[in-house]
Amino acid sequence: MSGLSNKRIILGITGGIAAYKGAEIVRRLQDQGAEVRVVMTAAATEFIRPLTLQALSGYQVHTDLLDAEAEAAMGHIELARWADLLLIAPATANFISTMVHGGADSLLSAVYLATSAKIAVAPAMNQAMWSHTASQQNIQALKGRETIIIEPDTGIQACGDIGPGRLQQPEIIVDQLKAIFESGLLAGKKVVITAGPTREAIDPVRYISNHSSGKMGYALAAALTEAGAKVVLISGPVLLDSPAGCELISVVSADAMLNASVAAVKDANIFISAAAVADYRAVDVADQKIKKQADNLSLELKKNPDIVSTIATDNPQLFVVGFAAETENIETFARDKLVRKKLHAIIANDVSRQDIGFNADDNEVSWIDAQSCKHLGKKSKSQLARDIVKLIAANYDG
Ligand code: C5P
Kindly list the structural domains of the chain, giving each domain's residue range(s) and its CATH number in brackets, ordered by start. Answer: 8-178 (3.40.50.1950), 190-395 (3.40.50.10300)
Mean pLDDT of 299-304: 97
d(CA 39, CA 54): 10
SS3 337: helix
* Secondary structure, 3-state, 26-74: HHHHHHCCCEEEEEECCCHHHCCCHHHHHHHHCCCCECCCCCHHHHHHH
Distance between Cα 10 and ligand 1 center (Å)? 37
Instruction: Kindly list the distances between the CA atom of residue 367 and the CA atoms of 81, 321, 375, 394, in Å, as whole numbers in the listed order.
Output: 19, 10, 6, 12
Residue 194 alpha carbon, nearest atom of ligand 1: 12
Distance between Cα 315 and ligand 1 center (Å)? 17
Q: Could you tell me if 142 and 121 are in contact, meaning their C-beta atoms sit under 8 angstroms apart?
A: yes
Mean pLDDT of 31-57: 97
Beta bridge partners of 362: 380
Does the pLDDT of residue 250 top 80, yes or no? yes
Distance between Cα 327 and ligand 1 center (Å)? 15
Question: What burial letters (b/e) apply to 239-274, b meaning 16+ CB within 10 Å?
Answer: eeebbeebeebebbbbebbbebbeebbeebbbbbbb
DSSP for 166-235, written as a single string:
EPPPHHHHHHHHHHHT---TTTT-EEEEEESB--EEEETTEEE-----SHHHHHHHHHHHHTT-EEEEEE
User: Residue 377: pLDDT band by 50, 70, 90 thresholds?
Assistant: confident
Locate all alpha helices (DSSP H) within 265-377, ordered by sequence: 307-314, 330-340
pLDDT of residue 127: 96
Distance between Cα 361 and ligand 1 center (Å)? 21
SS3 content of the chain, % helix, strand, coil (to 5): 35, 25, 40
Instruction: Please report, as a single letter, which amino acid is at residue 278.
Output: A
pLDDT digits (tens, 9 = 90+) for 217-246: 999 999 999 899 999 999 999 999 998 889
Q: How far is CA 243 from the centre of its chain?
A: 12
- Set 159, 187, 263, 370: catalytic member: 159
Nearest partner of 91 among 125, 47, 65, judged by Cα: 125
pLDDT of residue 202: 98
pLDDT of residue 1: 45
Nearest partner of 84 among 312, 395, 388, 380, judged by Cα: 380
Residue 322 alpha carbon, nearest atom of ligand 1: 10
Q: Could you tell me if 82 and 380 are in contact, meaning their C-beta atoms sit under 8 angstroms apart?
A: yes
Residue 321 alpha carbon, nearest atom of ligand 1: 10
pLDDT digits (tens, 9 = 90+) for 65-122: 887 777 777 788 999 999 999 999 999 999 999 999 999 999 999 999 999 999 999 9
Which residue among 308, 310, 343, 368 has the greatest number of ligand 1 atoms within 8 angstroms of its CB, and so is best to mutate? Answer: 308
pLDDT of residue 357: 62
User: Is the model more confident about 194 or about 350?
Assistant: 194
Nearest partner of 10 among 139, 102, 111, 146, judged by Cα: 111
List ligand 1's pocket residues with C-beta within 6 A: 254, 273, 275, 277, 279, 304, 306-308, 322-324, 337
d(CA 392, CA 345): 9
Beta bridge partners of 148: 120
Distance between Cα 333 and ligand 1 center (Å)? 13
Burial class (CB in 10 A: 0-12, 13-18, 19+), 324: buried
d(CA 10, CA 88): 8
Q: What is the mean pLDDT of the chain?
A: 93
Active site annotation includes 159: yes
Task: Please give the backbone phi and psi of residue 216, each rounded to the nearest 5 degrees, phi first.
Answer: -65, -45
User: Residue 346: pLDDT band by 50, 70, 90 thresholds?
Assistant: very high
Q: Taking each helix axis as running N to C, give the angle between helix 254-264 and helix 307-314, from 0 to 180 degrees, rounded to the nearest 10.
A: 20
DSSP state of 368: E
Tell me the percentage of the chain whose pLDDT exceeds 90.
81
d(CA 98, CA 235): 45
Residue 343 alpha carbon, nearest atom of ligand 1: 10
Does the pLDDT of residue 201 top 50, yes or no? yes
